[in-house]
């Protein structure tokens, strides 16, 4: 089935959608917590997925206690992440083919992420994808992070496309909430978090992978 409207732009989440980094972040955070004599439960990590920095900080303090060194945890997890990522290809299946399709259709595309610009640059450079996106909305570019609509609205604004004409692709619950509240056609591609009844209600479609998401674009535009 096609999308509700032919998209005029595509906005991608990054972690867990373009790159298989959520698993790496989970393992890095778990290792960092162990270094500090703590334990990172899987449900706590799942609650962090798609959250902006300050919301993540609050969640961690609520779990570990007000005196917990969140900055120390993040610094250590960043070191573990780069160690785990070194030499790995963690690009999700179908990304290059999807971008090639968008090139052929002359559709602009952006990234809307809770991560830092440095992380976007690292991930794109690691996989030779520099210049494949027309805009990036990352941490620091918007007043409120996901699940608020701001990241996707900023991305659409930078593409100069009406949010209603944008296709948003997300893997997380907070990301879907963000994109849907921005008024975008939202497609979920689940990663670590399964789709729920709420996600089904918010999304135009839920698909298994980016190949299927690209097929939606192709079919909706008669390409």
Beta strands in the chain (DSSP E): 9-12, 109-112, 135-137, 166-170, 185-188, 205-206
* Dist. CA 216–CA 214, nearest whole Å: 5
Catalytic residue from among 15, 150, 171, 191: 15
Q: 């004409």: which residue's tokens?
A: 165
Radius of gyration of the chain (CA): 17
* Dist. CA 53–CA 76, nearest whole Å: 16
Catalytic residue from among 13, 119, 150, 191: 13
13 catalytic residue (yes or no): yes
Q: Which residues are catalytic?
A: 13, 15
């Amino acid at each position: 089935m096609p999308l509700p409207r032919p998209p005029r732009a595509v906005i991608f989440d990054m972690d867990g959608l373009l790159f298989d980094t959520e698993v790496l972040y989970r393992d890095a955070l778990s290792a960092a917590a162990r270094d500090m004599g703590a334990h990172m439960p899987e449900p706590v990590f799942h609650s962090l997925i798609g959250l902006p920095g300050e919301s993540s900080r609050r969640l961690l303090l609520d779990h570990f206690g007000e005196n917990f060194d969140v900055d120390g945890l993040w610094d250590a997890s960043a070191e573990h992440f780069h160690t785990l990522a070194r030499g790995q290809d963690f690009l999700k299946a179908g990304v290059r083919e999807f971008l090639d399709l968008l090139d052929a259709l002359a559709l602009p595309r952006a990234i809307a992420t809770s991560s830092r610009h440095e992380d976007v640059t690292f991930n794109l450079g690691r996989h030779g994808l520099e210049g494949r996106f027309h805009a990036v909305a990352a941490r620091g570019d918007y007043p409120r992070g996901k699940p608020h609509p701001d990241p996707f609205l900023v991305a659409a604004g930078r593409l100069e496309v009406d949010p209603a004409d944008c296709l948003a692709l997300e893997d997380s619950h907070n990301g879907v909430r963000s994109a849907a509240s921005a008024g975008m056609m939202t497609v979920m591609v689940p990663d670590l978090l399964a789709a729920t009844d709420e996600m089904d209600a918010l999304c135009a479609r839920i698909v298994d992978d980016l190949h299927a998401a690209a097929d939606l674009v192709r079919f909706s535009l008669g390409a």
